[in-house]
Structure 1
Amino acid sequence: MSKSIGSITLERRVDALFSRYTAAGSPGAVVAVMRDGTVELCKGYGLASIELGVPIRPDTRFRIASVSKQFTVTAALMLAAEGKLKLTDPPHKYLPELPPLPVTIDQMMRNSSGLPDFLELLRLGGHGLDKPARPGDLLAACLRNRHLNFAPGSRFLYSNTNFLLLGLIVEGLAKMKLGDFLAERIFKPLGMTSTMLVPEIDTVIPGLAAGYLGDATTGFRRAAHAYPQGGEGGLTSTVEDLLIWSKHFDQPTLIPKTLPAQLAAVAPLTGGHTNNYRRGVGVDDLRGLATLGHGGLWPGFRTEFLRVPEAELTVVVIANLGTIDPWRQARAIAALALEGNGKIKPLPAAITEAEIKPIAGTWFNAQEPSLFELAWRGGEPVVTQNGLPFALGRRVDGWFAAERGSFEFALKPGRAGTLRVDLGAGRVLAFKKLGRRKAPPAAIAGTYVSPDSGATWHVRRGGEDYTVGVSGPLIAGGPAWPLRGLDADTVEIETPGSWITMTQLAHLERDRTGRIAALSVSTGRIKKMRFERVS
């Protein structure tokens, strides 16, 4: 097959980006680049199975996790076009077992509903992705909850609950399984023959890569997960099929042909603030060119589906190793492919260690509440919030901002030793550097119950240390969670995990006598959920 010199050059430069994963015994990734409808690169690096020595190829299947969301939304938009669904309706109209909350289906599609993430609801009860669950358990978590993180439509906050429920609504209206609907109405008509929705984790899927954690230094290990998946993240696919899907954005054939435009349609938040999450896809900027796409994250699998419509460019990177960063790699590859494009703007100057050193440390806002650590790590500034690290880059306006859109976070030095932190939707808060932590008050010991998550927390004191014994709808017992004080009214609680160690903050709510009556708990995707104290 003939190749242009440009394609050969691009391939060699991408080879250099992924060279470390071609070492013997390493998992890796697959990369695809399409421009003007022509595939310029489609190549695997590393092993789909270390145990069997099977290499990654363009037709290797992967779990693409949240890249699935745009397909679930597309299914719902098809039903809306047929008059079976209204985007302004609340979800409980179609799932009457749900509590009647003032949320619309369109807000769910845009991650502005305020519904807490069911993964977080279950985690607060001690249950993680490595522990077995059934589809009914995931729905039950949604049915228990009556809490909203904020007024619907007022903010963006990522939540898998939105798309799990949306998939169930599609099933009820179509009177068939979501996977069957997607296959019949989307995958088969487009020729996406290697894509399917696989809810059960024990399904045999020919050509599916195994997922891994770790790295070449510490060693690789199989990633464990035991959760069924639905409309929020259950697809397995290939880079070739995702290129077919990308082509549909440019030349739509599915009915209605306005589907790609509906996915990208703008809807401002309350107050006119911008929401860069559209319907199952996010928009961003790559050096002056608008992008549209989505990432996916699941134990041992990471995906980035990136479109640069103005340049008719698509880059897809899918990895079967949790330490590979497809978001960053896809943008690096896109920048290589766009060299010479006159519309590409120069990169802003990199943030320097000298700029971070004076403001490095742990920062806290008690009213939100929110806590993060800012450090210089691996040659770049890194924020760790709720246990999750993310890198910062310089924006053109001078703010230091989270590189990826799933985190609404930007900072700049403020007055009197504070940091101004933009958390999205016009909320710019002053953070103060945390000094010496205060010990938790002894009176915090006791039992707390959350009706919305079904979790029970037993806060115990052992000498100077405090821990939380956690039980929930799916599990009792397990390792205790360490609890540390922050200030007189806030504590930080750590959730140990085999994949990610998460943290959450709990604000102490007191009655008129000063007694601690409840904990108001905030995680990355749950805000101010009440845990009532019980005798």
Structure 2
Amino acid sequence: MVRNLNQFFLSLFCFWIALGCQKQQQEEKEENLVDNNNSIDIDSLSVEELEHFHHIFDSTFTKLYKTRRFNGVVLGGKNQQIVYQKAFGYRDIRRRTKLKEDDIFQLASVSKQFTASAILMLEQDSLLSVNDSINKFFPEFPYPGITIKMLLDHRSGLPNYIYLMDRELKDKHTPIDNQLCVDYMYEHQPGKYGSPDGRFKYSNSGYMLLASIVEKVTDSPFSTFLEERIFTPLHMDSTFTFDPVKVQQENIPLGHTGRGRKYEEYMLDGVLGDKSVYSNVEDLFKWHKALLRDSLLSAESKEKAFTFHSPKRKGKYNYGYGWRLFKPSDGTKVVYHGGWWRGYSTLFVHYPESEAFLIILTNRVNHSFVNTNHVFDVLEIPEFRRR
């Protein structure tokens, strides 16, 4: 199985890195959020290029689907053009209801980039600073010495709230909210995973707290902030945070185990910040385009998000604010994030310089989309970076 997965990523990234690592040749674009009436000059791909890239994508994912290693939707492109978009497999594997290209998936940890962006937008508004102590927002919080920055780059040392809530709550199906998680951290004070600003330790607790900080600062639900400041301005009309009614929509595929069994509703589905944004590949393409401009997030904010900040143990794979970072030997920047939550495996890859992108949303367990670091080893092979 490991060998097969390596072969998959080898074939996919041989193509995709060759596409994504090409240097951007066009002149600097004017700032624009999303305005369909104001077009931006771009270097369009030729018909031959589009056909070539489409063929590589289709042959790769068709083979994966036929060997039962892919059940989901993929979208990829370059220069703000979609070169491939297709759905493979089923919304409900047992009932054999087919997926559609615009189906909506739980994004899992790909949601973290929206949480980090919300914090950076509030910093742009001068309502907080990433250097603020979280005790400014939670005065009696039992874990001192932690800043917003440490939450953003997973160096807070906080314990995982997911294990705490799973241990303490009997009802595993009724959705809970962030406030209950914060209350339980106050009450039970589980042991820390490390010292503040110490080693990197991936933390869902940190991003749950970041969403709660947004609520403190804006005096409104986190979901409202995302809707009003990100989703609506970008016309991401199919994107929303967890809602027990909305998630019952027919166009939201069920999460499945690797063997095709459905996951049941879970109490932590309603906790926001670390997960539980729902979207489709078309809306995420709009998000990718917004990240190429400076209207939503300023150039300074994006530089913070796409930069490794800790001087300790810098390596090939690092973390910014809501994004994993990779820099191949030719110096190009790759920002990406994978996710997994109860049957949903997701991957979003964004190339700020070359404007290439890759979005994969699946509803059947495939941990290879989460643990992608080993995949990027192929970036260091020169022939994989050439077109």
For the aligned pair, the TM-score class normalised by the smaller chain equals 0.7 to 0.9
SS state at 2:91 partner: strand
Give the distance between the partners of 2:296 and 2:345, measured in 1 at CA. Answer: 28
Give the distance between the partners of 2:310 and 2:375, measured in 1 at CA. Answer: 30
Over the matched positions of the two proteins, sequence identity in percent amounts to: 25
- Once the 2 structures are TM-superposed, how far is the Cα of residue 138 of structure 1 from its aligned partner? 2.4
Give the distance between the partners of 2:329 and 2:374, measured in 1 at CA. Answer: 10
Q: Residues 283-298 of structure 1: matches in 2 within 5 Å?
A: 283-285=325-327, 288=330, 289-298=332-341
1:172 equivalent to 2:216? Answer yes
Under a length normalisation based on structure 2, what TM-score does the superposition of the two structures give? Answer: 0.76
The residue number in structure 2 matching 1:250 is 292
- Once the 2 structures are TM-superposed, how far is the Cα of residue 153 of structure 1 from its aligned partner? 1.2
1:279 equivalent to 2:316? Answer no
Q: State the AA in 2 paired with 1:262.
A: K
The residue number in structure 2 matching 1:90 is 133
The residue number in structure 1 matching 2:185 is 142
The residue number in structure 1 matching 2:234 is 190
- Once the 2 structures are TM-superposed, how far is the Cα of residue 37 of structure 1 from its aligned partner? 1.1
Q: State the AA in 2 paired with 1:78.
A: M
Give the distance between the partners of 2:59 and 2:101, measured in 1 at CA. Answer: 18
Residues 139/205 of structure 1: CA separation in 2 closer, same or farther (3 Å cut): farther
Give the distance between the partners of 1:328 and 1:128, measured in 2 at CA. Answer: 31
State which of 223, 239, 243 in structure 1 corresponds to 2:263: 223
Q: Quick check: 2:152–2:207 contact (8 Å CA) kept in 1?
A: yes
Structure with greater strand share of residues: 1
Give the distance between the partners of 2:143 and 2:367, measured in 1 at CA. Answer: 41
Under a length normalisation based on structure 1, what TM-score does the superposition of the two structures give? Answer: 0.56
Q: Residues 471-510 of structure 1: matches in 2 within 5 Å?
A: none
State which of 346, 349, 352 in structure 2 corresponds to 1:306: 349
1:261 equivalent to 2:303? Answer yes
Give the distance between the partners of 2:138 and 2:124, measured in 1 at CA. Answer: 20
Give the distance between the partners of 1:47 and 1:59, measured in 2 at CA. Answer: 13
SS state at 2:346 partner: strand
Unaligned runs of 5+ in 1: 348-535
State which of 229, 253, 265 in structure 2 corresponds to 1:209: 253
Alignment RMSD (CA, Å): 3.4
Q: Quick check: 1:118–1:160 contact (8 Å CA) kept in 2?
A: yes
Residues 76/179 of structure 1: CA separation in 2 closer, same or farther (3 Å cut): same
- Once the 2 structures are TM-superposed, how far is the Cα of residue 329 of structure 1 from its aligned partner? 8.9
1:46 equivalent to 2:89? Answer yes
- Once the 2 structures are TM-superposed, how far is the Cα of residue 64 of structure 1 from its aligned partner? 0.3
Q: Residues 46-125 of structure 1: matches in 2 within 5 Å?
A: 46-50=89-93, 53-123=96-166, 125=167
User: When the two structures are aligned, how many residues end up with a matched partner?
Assistant: 334
SS state at 2:86 partner: strand
* Deviations 1:330-369, CA, capped at 9 Å, x for gaps: 9989x8xx9xxxx96247xxxxxxxxxxxxxxxxxxxxxx
Give the distance between the partners of 1:154 and 1:167, measured in 2 at CA. Answer: 22
Relative contact order, CA 8 A, sep 6+: which one is greater? 2
The residue number in structure 1 matching 2:366 is 323
Q: State the AA in 2 paired with 1:345.
A: P
* Deviations 1:12-40, CA, capped at 9 Å, x for gaps: 33233333665699971111112011111
* Deviations 1:288-338, CA, capped at 9 Å, x for gaps: 5431011110011000001233332111111111037335899989x8xx9
Q: State the AA in 2 paired with 1:187.
A: F
Residues 158/129 of structure 1: CA separation in 2 closer, same or farther (3 Å cut): farther
Residues 328/212 of structure 1: CA separation in 2 closer, same or farther (3 Å cut): same
State which of 5, 28, 47 in structure 2 corresponds to 1:4: 47
Give the distance between the partners of 1:84 and 1:232, measured in 2 at CA. Answer: 22
Residues 133/237 of structure 1: CA separation in 2 closer, same or farther (3 Å cut): closer
